[in-house]
Amino acid sequence: MSNAGKPNSPGLGYRLLSLPLYLFWILHGVKHGIKHGLPGYLSMRMFGLANNATDQVWVHASSVGEVRAVSPLVHALIGQGEAVLFTSFTATGYQAIRRHFSDSVASGVIPFDNYWHCRRFFGQQRIKLGLVMETELWPELLCQARRHHINLLLVNARLSRKSLDAGGFIRGLLTTTLSHFSRILTRSERDIEALRSLGASADRISVIGNLKTHVELSQQSERLIEREYLILASSHSGEERQFLETRPAQLADRLLVLAPRHPERSAAIQNQIEALGLSYAVRSKAQPITGDTNVYLADTLGELKSLLAYAGVVVMGGSFNNTGGHNLIEPASLGCAIITGPSDSNIAEDIDLLGPGNGVLQVEDMTACWREISRLLEHPRHADALGREAQSRLALLPNVVQQYMAAVKPYL
């Protein structure tokens, strides 16, 4: 059940590189903690967490989206009586853990990826198993976990195109880091080839499914906006401007909601809206929506589901630049009519699952997006059918959390 032999270190080159990066990490920790209202972020990254003598399952996820995706698995572990240490890389991820789990888990952020900090981190905890979410492949962190005799499983495993196209040094680090996992539990057959190209042996890889497809179809959401509206969700820099500039004149009266992926971009987005001469309200400032409001900037965290639930059409951002798209499963679970752009490296499986043209519409650019929006608004039955098809396809999926628990159970 465990990796045999002494784990491979990240190598002298990486450890030497971590020394000049140390000041950058400190400065990033200070800035990141202040920006997200978590002054203790730097302290956790430098000095670790309170000592814990309880045997725990360590679950690690990068940020808010990954925290939410792996949370049903954490609940299942808790339900089986396991003590859980749940960590994130970002301050917002940590805040999401605290918000959703309160004191039912121990929580924190991971240390700097440095020999001494990682060694100290694992010395403070009693961990019997580590579950690492998706692409959180920190070379020193995982090396030190193995040196503390912790079995590691990579869950919902995937590799980005950027990682696969990286140079020899980075690929070598990834190969070494993947060697620390006793088992790699991935989303689909497509992921196997990518993992094997970095040296992961086929006998360590199992296709389990995508944790992000686990949804509660019956959950109700609070309605935050009374007017009818369209939403651009999880957008990135440049996408909001594209969305606003290409809107047809005949839809000028329709309220547009912008829910950026990174709310800290709020000031820059407000400047763009003002430059276009549009009236707007900002959620973080508690500004009311009136009959004259053209744009509502939803620059908050934790409310996206409620905003998606009552939108006439959902346009998913990160797909009209080179980001690769964002999770389509949540709006699909709510029965939304969804449109996504041409950049789909992160969501190709979501599109296949929901049914291109049937459960989700993929368009070539923002102008084509507005053509589809106009069509759906003119024919609301088409919009309803699009949402129902996506929702019904999700309802047919097996319980992926149960499948992951079955794969994890032998290691507990």
Q: Which CATH number fits the domain 229-395, given the four candidates 2.60.40.10, 3.30.930.10, 3.40.50.2300, 3.40.50.2000?
A: 3.40.50.2000
Poorest-pLDDT segment among 212-221, 293-302, 342-351: 212-221
pLDDT at 346: 86
Fold observed for domain 12-208: Rossmann fold (3.40.50)
Place of tokens 């912008």: 258
In the chain, DSSP finds a helix count (H) and a strand count (E) of: 17, 14
Q: CB-based contacts of 28: which residues, under 8 Å, 6+ apart? A: none
The pLDDT value given to residue 216: 66
Instruction: Please give the Cα distance from 54 to 107 (Å, whole number).
Output: 14
What are the tens digits of pLDDT across the range 318-339? 999 999 999 899 999 999 999 9
Q: How confident is the model at residue 162 (pLDDT cuts 50, 70, 90)?
A: confident
Q: 362-395, pLDDT tens digit by residue?
A: 999 999 999 999 999 999 999 999 999 999 999 8
**Is the pLDDT assigned to residue 4 strictly greater than 60?**
no
Of the chain, the percentage scoring pLDDT greater than 90 comes to 75
Specify which of 30-39, 153-162, 269-278, 342-351 reaches the highest per-range mean pLDDT. 269-278
Nearby residues of 114 by Cβ (< 8 Å), 6 or more positions away: 18, 22, 25, 140
Region(s) of the chain under CATH 3.40.50.2000: 229-395
Spatial CA neighbour of 327 closest among 354, 301, 306, 302: 354
> How many CB atoms lie under 10 A from the CB of residue 210?
20
Q: How far apart are the C-alpha atoms of 364 and 228, rounded to whole Å?
A: 26
Residue, of 191 and 374, whose pLDDT is higher? 374
pLDDT of residue 5: 61
Q: What is the mean pLDDT of the chain?
A: 92
Mean pLDDT over 229-236 rounds to 97
**What digits encode the pLDDT tens for the residues 73-90?**
999 999 999 999 999 999
C-alpha separations of 61 from 66, 73, 180, 376 in Å: 5, 12, 17, 37
Give 217's pLDDT tier (boundaries 50, 70, 90).
Answer: low
Given this model, what pLDDT does residue 160 score?
72
CATH 3.40.50.11720 domain range(s) in the chain: 12-208
**Residues 57, 412 contacting (CB under 8 angstroms):** yes
Q: What is the pLDDT of residue 41?
A: 95
